[in-house]
Amino acid sequence: MNAPFRGQSYPGEPENQAAQSGAEPTAVLPETAAQLVEMERLQQALAQAEERAKTHWEQYLRAVADVENVRRRAAKDVEAAHKFGIDKLAAELLPVRDSLELAVENADKADAQQLAAGSQATLKLLAKAFEKLSIVELNPLGEPFDPAKHEAMLAQPSHTAEPNSVLQVVQRGYELNGRLLRPARVIVAKAP
């Protein structure tokens, strides 16, 4: 219990020394009315701030949980993409394999003309699969040499072709959705 203010005593206690000595007691209020109003306002503001802090903490915890859920889902999607990302490619190549297996099984029964027709049919199946998968063939014969898309095997003098143009395609290149899968291997023309 705090000591009484000067000139005050607690109820039930004998009067303090000032009262005993004959001096008039002075009543000093511990707080003025304005201070009481300010204290009440500050207590309300504190309660509101504590409530906002509690709400913000709950929102933070929900946001952290949401971010963690998104991270887990993204990791799961990436894992599924790694596992099954080529399923479209595999589905498109299965008919090509079937055609090749059929050709191998019937190779001893077929003549050269039938084998050639079967090979052409298999190439058409493969071309159709490439088209569905957005794989584009690069056959740069006669075009200017482009080191970003072509790999020069050698340079050969030519009287008929422009210097630094593709004279012959040794192996065709391929692009997937505009991205180079394999450069075309070429022989480049040079001045004689």
Is the pLDDT at 104 greater than 70? The verdict is yes
Single-letter code of the amino acid located at 168:
Q
Model pLDDT, residue 1: 45
Model pLDDT, residue 67: 96
Maximum CA extent, the chain: 140
Banded pLDDT at 34 (limits 50, 70, 90) = confident
Is pTM, for the whole model, over 0.75? no
In degrees and rounded to multiples of 5, residue 54 shows phi and psi of -65, -45
| Average of per-residue pLDDT across 108-130 | 87
List pLDDT tens digits, range 122-174: 999 999 988 888 899 999 999 999 999 999 999 999 888 889 999 999 999 99
Is the pLDDT at 43 greater than 90? The verdict is yes
Helices 87-105, 112-132: crossing angle, 10 deg rounding: 180
List pLDDT tens digits, range 80-92: 888 777 888 888 8
Is the pLDDT at 18 greater than 90? The verdict is no
Q: Residue 159 gets which letter from DSSP?
A: S
- C-alpha–C-alpha distance, residues 174 and 182, integer Å: 5
